[in-house]
Every structure is written in C-alpha cells, then in structure tokens.
Amino acid sequence: MPNIVIPYKPRALQKILHGQIDKHRFSVIVLHRRAGKTVMAINHMLRAALTNKLLNPRYAFISPYRLQGKATAWDYIKQFAGKIPGTKFNESELRCDLANGARITILGAENDQAIRGISLDGCVFDETQSIKPTIFPEVIRPALADRKGWCIFIGTPKGRNNFYQLYEQAKKNPKWYACTYKASETDILDEEELQAAKDVMSKDLYEQEFECSFQAAITGSYYGTIIEDLVREKRMVSNLFDEDIDVETWWDLGMNDQTAIWFVQRYKKEIRLIDYYENTGHGLDHYADVLKKKGFEYSTHIFPHDVKVRELGNYAKTRLEALLDLGIVGEVAPKLSIEDGIEAVRKNLINCWFDKDKCGTGIEYLKAYQKKWDDKAQVFKSKPQHSYASHCADSFRTGIAGQGIELSNWKNEVPINTNYIV
C-alpha cells in the first residue's frame, strides 16, 4: 500500500495519548468536554486498521446509542478515511470499508443482542459513563479474545459509576493505562470560554464536565444523593439475606429489551434489597428458572400494571396469565404516574438496605436514573431519560408502588357461595 497521509494533526495532548495507547492493550481516558477525545480515538483506530497485517481486520466505535454515534463520529470517520484511496462508506450500516479489507463500524450499546457474536481487532467506547456496564465484560471482551484486540474507553465522569470503577481498576493494573485531564490543566479551552460555561452551569455540572470530577453529584439524578447518604450511613453491606424471612420480587417486564427483577426482604420498617437480576432477549420461562435457582422462599411477586396487557400471539394471553402458567403467582401494583412513583421511591429509599455485592449493578443503575435534558431550552424536563438504567428503576418503582397491597393470607376466612353446590 502506498504512503497515505490522513488529514489529522494531533495536538500535544493527543500525541501523548496516542503514545500511551500504543503501549497498553486497554486504556481508560477521562477527558473534559471539547478536548478532542473522539477525533483522537477515531484516528487511532483508523491508523490501526490501515497497518493491521491480519486478514480482514474489524474495528468498532461504540456509543450509548447508534444514532448518537452517527451524530458524533460518522462525519469524522468520513472526513479522515475519505482521503484514503479505495475507501467505501455504507451509510445505512454506518460502515467504513478500507482497501486492505479492514472495516470500521459504528455500533450502539442500547441493543446488546444485536452486537453479540462479532469478532474485533480493536474498539472504542465513547461516552463510556453512559454505556450499560455489562456490555464490555459480556459482549465486547469476548469479541476481542481470538484476535487479542485492544479497547479504548473515553468519556467524562457521571458519578462513581462503572466508568469510575474501570478507571480505578486501570490505575491499579500496570497492563492498563489510566489518565485524567481537566480543562484547567490542558489549556485547550481559554479562560473566557471556561468562564462562560461556569456562568450558565451549576457548580456540580461544571465540575463534572470540565474538571472531570467523579465526586460531583450526578446532575438531574433522582436518587443519587439519597443513595450516597445510604453509603455514608453504611447501609451497603455484604450477606444481607436472612434465611428466616420470605422473599418478594419486584418486576419490570421488557418486550424487546431488559426485564429487571429486585429480590427483597422486609424486616419491621426495613426494606432489604438482597439481590438484583436483569437480562434481555429471553422468554418468561427463563426468569421462572432464575427464581427457582435462587432457592428463595417467596411470599409474593409484584408486577407492573402493564402485565395485564394481552400480547399478540401466544393465544392472546396476558403476561400475567403466562406467569401464572409457570407457577409464578403475584400481585399487580397500582398504576401511579411516573412522577408520583419516583416521589414514592425517594421517600422509601431512606428505609432501604442493600447487599452491595449482589445488588452492585442495581445500585449504580438507580444512581444513574436521571431527568431528561432539553438541549434547546437548557433545562431538565419533568420526565426521566430512557437509558440502560430505566428498567432497574422501573422495577424498583413497581415494588414501592405495590408495597401497600394486601397480600394473600391463608388464615383469613374465605367466603363460599353455596348456591352452586349440588
């Protein structure tokens, strides 16, 4: 292949990052807004694709949502790869094919089933803080195994979530690279621009977006502050399960996305969250099997109100009827508005204890559940942002909404209508 000049002149910071990424298979890079991290990562991936000697190299740029990746990265890929002879672009598949057989594809993390089974030589996680934590270990890490591929994680903080955990792990592992660059340190944005940002942003949001603070509260989070209070009060413990107390479950039933289940015990006024499970792409029989394998004695199962909706096919059964066929007998939570449900959760969280080991994912999802941001009006909307955290939060809200349900009690007398007895 002839010498190819990509129209990319890296800044001083970008040169440093390229050098470190070359030395490490996995890199966690925390950078402030407008630092050029996306451009840097795309060009690193493009160079790797051009110089890879293996047959048909495969690379992926992974965003929280496919359309988000198209908006943030696709034009850059076309800009820099478009100067390379023989490059072809597939707009519908967001795919760039190079003359040497290498391929770069933009993928969205919102549908992990759609990206399972692929093989990758390298990939970039963009806005890692907003990507479901299970995507890397369950989907992408296996995809890198047979070709010993690499991965770059880039983003800005969003509380002490999975991105924070990755960063902390990378700092302790000499085979990984970890770095943080704040706006006050890089000189990429001048003081006038930073001051203009400070004038319109809350302190927490500015610290998060420009000073790369993991400690700042997640702006717009419904439950983040309360959960941090629970951490300080040492309500996150190990081995919370009490074998003398029956377990109830709180559900959110997905159609084409996640089904989420909380496992809960009650003791006096305490609500003890002892386990959390979610998955996608499975029928109800899968979740029935999960319940059996947990080995708990169940008092009841609390389902969202839409469990009574009849589905197409399956003999027009409701999911409630389908669950009953599987031996899962439960109650349907009363229908509350989202706003009332969220407020009910906020009031009840102060009574909660969490098993920090078995509910770690659920805890992080609750912290990440936040209001939807309106870019035009520059305000938070009253409705929540639909994200990977939504199903976890919805199942929790179902349980809280249903806690006032009068549960079945075999000690109560059951009236019998004798008129039909022959």
Q: What is the mean pLDDT of each run of 10 residues along the chain (422 residues)?
A: 78 96 97 95 96 95 95 96 94 96 96 87 96 92 96 92 91 95 94 93 88 81 90 94 96 81 95 95 91 96 88 68 92 91 93 96 90 70 85 95 55 40 36
For 143, other C-beta atoms within 10 Å of its C-beta total 21
Domain range annotation of the chain: 12-209, 224-401
Packed helices 360-368 and 390-401: angle between N→C axes, nearest 10 degrees? 100
For residues 264 and 275, what is the distance between their CA atoms, to the nearest angstrom? 7
Q: What angle do CA 187, 192, 195 make, to 5 degrees?
A: 100
CA torsion through residues 111, 258, 134, 29, sign: positive
CATH of 12-209, one of 3.30.365.10, 3.40.50.300, 3.40.50.970, 3.40.50.1470: 3.40.50.300
pTM of the prediction?
0.71
Q: What pLDDT does residue 376 have?
A: 64
Pairing of strands 270-279, 259-267: antiparallel
> 375-380 long-range contacts, Cβ below 8 Å, gap at least 24?
378/200, 380/220
For residues 140 and 27, what is the distance between their CA atoms, to the nearest angstrom? 15
The closest alpha carbon to 301, from 327, 337, 336, 335, belongs to 327
Asked whether the domain spanning 224-401 has the same topology as the one spanning 12-209, the reply is no
Q: What pLDDT does residue 159 have?
A: 81
Q: Are 103 and 97 contacting, i.e. CB atoms less than 8 angstroms apart?
A: yes
Q: What pLDDT does residue 412 have?
A: 39
For residues 305 and 299, what is the distance between their CA atoms, to the nearest angstrom? 19
Q: What pLDDT does residue 238 have?
A: 95
CA torsion through residues 316, 317, 318, 319, sign: negative
Q: What pLDDT does residue 417 have?
A: 43
Strands (E), 268-375: 270-279, 298-303, 331-332, 352-355, 371-374
Which ranges constitute the DSSP H helices of 153-297?
Answer: 162-172, 183-186, 191-200, 203-209, 224-232, 284-294
Q: Give Cα separations from 409 to 81, 284, 304, 330, 414 (angstroms).
A: 68, 26, 22, 13, 10
Pairing of strands 236-237, 352-355: parallel
For residues 292 and 323, what is the distance between their CA atoms, to the nearest angstrom? 13
Q: What pLDDT does residue 216 have?
A: 72
DSSP string, 18-54: HHHHHH-SEEEEEE-TTSSHHHHHHHHHHHHHHH--S
Residue type, 176: W
Q: Tell me if the domain spanning 224-401 has CATH number 3.30.420.280.
A: yes
